[in-house]
């Protein structure tokens, strides 16, 4: 079965203060229809920039090379007028902060109906009814009442449900959720993720879930792609990755998850050091300066993300062995994907 989305050797450069910043460097992956790919990593690892490239939402200053194929269409270099056929209808995105994404001066209803009428030539009354149906689909309580309210009258979780309704207005085949639950409390976060999973099953969408939280990825994804310094450094099915971690960076991300059994006021684990300066470039493995397993060859040669075991790719000269597995308690409280 051919992939819905295929990314090959994607590179994204920005010019900043007379220096070139390579934000994404040779990223490759595929995504099948109806499946969920979790893209995880620290802030600045290239997750959001690569997702915005898939949506065609990068500024004109960005230089994009490589290939992004959605079904049978090459998206890199696509003219803006053709992008409009895919943005919203083929691929949609739920952004991190709904408070900044919604227009505070407009009522909720018109913000949803505007998107509906952009994709479908419907009279205002029919578009309004469709908007209310979408609000009910995303389980927004008292949808008809909320239709007349402003964003500031809704809670953070409600605003995020509105953003999901807007994203679904064009009936996309691929939904990108960019840190869609970061600004929400833990209970609301779980509700939003369950909602996205249920909608995915109901509508048959593929989904890219961008997060810094490997624990969240463990519960809601089929496959995980770990990014560091603009590169993919480990990729496998969720079950394989968490049973046999190979990349030390992936292990460090897992250890940074707060654990309930830790005593009060215990120091939180963190990945030591800082990511490399992408404008200055680097030699060897980009994680070498922060890696406890780094040896001489790590400073000289850059490892490629290649398949070392069936279905499991990693970019590391000295990968983890039997110690590279996720202890059950690290993922305690994270519901596993059915």
305-336 exposure pattern, b = at least 16 Cβ within 10 A, e = fewer: beeeeeebbbbbbebbeeebbbeeebbeebee
| Average pLDDT of the residues in 210-231 | 92
85-111 exposure pattern, b = at least 16 Cβ within 10 A, e = fewer: ebbbbbbbbbbbbbeebbeeeebbbeb
| Average pLDDT of the residues in 76-104 | 88
In a domain, 128, yes or no: no
pLDDT digits (tens, 9 = 90+) for 114-141: 999 988 889 999 999 999 999 999 999 9
Q: SS3 for 313? A: strand
Cα gap 157→162, rounded to integer Å: 9
In a domain, 201, yes or no: yes
Cα gap 10→12, rounded to integer Å: 7
In a domain, 17, yes or no: yes
In a domain, 142, yes or no: no
Cα gap 234→64, rounded to integer Å: 23
List the domain range (segments joined by +) for residue 296: 5-90+170-331
| CATH classification at residue 309 | 3.40.50.300
In a domain, 160, yes or no: no
* In the chain, alpha helices (H): 47-55, 80-86, 98-101, 108-119, 124-137, 143-146, 156-168, 186-203, 214-220, 238-243, 248-255, 296-300
More confidently predicted of 42 and 335:
42
pTM, two decimals, is 0.90
pLDDT digits (tens, 9 = 90+) for 185-218: 778 888 888 999 999 999 999 999 999 888 888 9
Total of domains in the chain:
1
* Residue where the block lists tokens 């900043």: 16
Cα gap 215→1, rounded to integer Å: 29
In a domain, 157, yes or no: no
Cα gap 93→174, rounded to integer Å: 9
CB-based contact 102:111 (threshold 8 Å): yes
In a domain, 40, yes or no: yes
In a domain, 219, yes or no: yes
């Amino acid at each position: 079965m051919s992939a819905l989305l295929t990314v090959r050797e994607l590179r994204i450069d920005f010019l900043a203060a007379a220096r070139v910043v390579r934000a994404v460097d040779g990223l490759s992956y595929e995504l099948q229809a109806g499946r969920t790919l979790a893209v995880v990593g620290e802030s600045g690892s290239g997750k959001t920039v690569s997702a915005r490239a898939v949506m065609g939402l990068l500024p004109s200053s960005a230089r994009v090379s490589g290939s992004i194929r959605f079904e049978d269409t090459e998206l890199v270099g696509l003219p803006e007028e053709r992008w409009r056929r895919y943005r919203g209808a083929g691929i949609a995105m739920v952004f991190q902060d709904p408070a900044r994404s919604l227009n505070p001066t407009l009522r909720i209803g018109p913000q949803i109906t505007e998107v509906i009428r952009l994709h479908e030539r419907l009279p205002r009354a029919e578009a309004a009814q469709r908007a209310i149906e979408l609000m009910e689909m995303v389980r927004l309580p008292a949808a008809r009442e909320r239709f007349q309210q402003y964003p500031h009258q809704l809670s953070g979780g409600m605003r995020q449900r509105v953003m999901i309704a807007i994203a679904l207005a064009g009936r996309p085949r691929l939904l990108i959720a960019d840190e869609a639950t970061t600004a929400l409390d833990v209970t609301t976060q779980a509700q939003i993720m369950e909602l996205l999973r249920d909608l995915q099953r109901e509508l048959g969408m593929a989904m890219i879930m961008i997060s810094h939280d490997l624990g969240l990825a463990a519960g809601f994804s089929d496959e995980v792609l770990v990014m560091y310094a603009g590169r993919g450094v480990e990729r496998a099915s969720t079950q394989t990755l968490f049973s046999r971690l190979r990349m030390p960076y992936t292990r460090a991300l897992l250890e940074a998850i707060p654990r309930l059994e830790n005593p009060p006021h215990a120091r939180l684990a963190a990945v030591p050091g800082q990511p490399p300066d992408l404008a200055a470039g680097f030699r060897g493995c980009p994680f070498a300066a922060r890696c406890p397993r780094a040896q001489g060859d790590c400073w000289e040669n850059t490892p490629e993300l290649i398949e070392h075991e069936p279905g499991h790719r990693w970019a590391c000269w000295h990968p983890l062995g039997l110690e590279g597995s996720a202890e059950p308690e690290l993922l305690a409280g994270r519901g596993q994907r059915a």
